[in-house]
Amino acid sequence: MDFPTPQPPANPPTTILLDKYELGRLLGSGSFAKVHVARSIETNQLVAIKTIDKKRTAKAGMEPRIIREIEAMRRLHHHPNILKIHEVMATKTKIYLVMELAAGGEIFTKILRSGRLQEPEARCYFQQLASALTFCHREGISHRDVKPENLLLDKEGNLKVSDFGLSALPENRTSNGMLHTACGTPAYTAPEVIAQRDYDGVKADSWSCGVLLFFLLAGYTPFDDSHFVIMYRKMQGRDYKFPRWFSKQARFIIYRLLDPNPATRMSIEDVSETKWFKKGLEVSEFGSSVLDSDERLGRMRSDTITAFDLISLSSAWDLSGLFERRERKRTRFTARVSVEGVVEKVKTVGEKLGFRVDEKSEARVVGLSKGRMMVMVEAVELVEGLVVAEMKVVEGVEEEEDESYWSEIVVELEEIVFAWHNEATLQ
């Protein structure tokens, strides 16, 4: 009896995007987008493509953030340590951001694997970061979310600054040149930003760089953000300890960067003039970029990129959610009402939306539960006249029903919210 010859399994069908790119493996996904490795059919170049769902972003009011991300990357396109955006494409339902592929992954992952970096390696990355941020600042752009998750590495190990979704463009400043929108990741955010004061975005980036340098050398941050108010007080009081292996020069720079007074805080350009920073610095490789090549890079930068005509360019978006870990939702907001006012509002919202309301004995904590989901809200006075509240899911799963419950609470609380913090979680 003859048996049919076994056939090799068929290759899975490839996805061709707009006749230009062949999509490969998934790199990451979030509530609004997916990121794939892709190959250009024309050039064979490997890129990363973020596919953004228009309907979901519109529903959450996130379109302005998308636009700001694109505009900032367009203006900073030619710096070697800033992730490049090659092209933007759009259909009726999707936006596609075609970007440089950072094959080396996040510095955050590198630290998780190694524990911490030796000082020469940390300094090398810090030199490249300073180069990129100096260029940003001279272009009038503040990053406002400098953290290891937003620092990527290419296949040669060169640093690439990414995620300009929270960046501030020159047109976002007030008449006195200051910024007023509180944003960023709490452990890396300057105290004047947390306190809701007008602030200098350049000096806020300097603070974040101080936290980052500490993290690179220690493997952990100087301030624990598990309790928001305590963290803020420690920032204000410079309440942190250096590990014994930090050099005196590194301690000096970090101490000056983590100055709670932005007026006396060391700038990134000032850091680039220190002996510690210049040690091992090859002028041909980094030095010209940090100290004197911004004008040259500015001349290289094109004022227009035709692919960007697909989208009207103006405001902002936070892309950190694209790579978020699958954690339960959590966010913070500030309110210019009393702690009691926040508690009463949360209780009213819960009753209105059909949640079971459970006020804890502390009188500043409220639990809201419905179905399999439970949300906890805790309010604490940060400074006189300003309350910070943390809202988090303590029970529940990532399902559409729970997404709807979370969104309903967020919408109803808008009446008392002065500003949301860590907005990537409002998804």
Burial of 308 (0-12, 13-18, 19+ CB in 10 A): middle
Using the Cα atoms of residue 233, residue 235, residue 236 and residue 241 in order, give the sign of their dihedral.
positive
Our answer to whether residue 145 is catalytic in this structure is yes
d(CA 3, CA 49): 45
d(CA 125, CA 114): 15
The reply, when asked if residue 110 is annotated as ligand binding, is: no
Phi then psi dihedrals of residue 48, to 5 deg: -115, 135
DSSP letter at 262 equals: T
Q: Which amino acid is at 57?
A: T
Q: Which of 19, 53, 145, 198 is catalytic?
A: 145
d(CA 374, CA 406): 10
Contacts of 79 by beta carbon, 8 Å cutoff, 6+ apart: 131, 132, 135, 289, 297
Task: Give the H or E element holding residue 250.
Answer: helix 248-257
Catalytic positions, please? 145
Residues contributing to the annotated binding site for ATP = 50
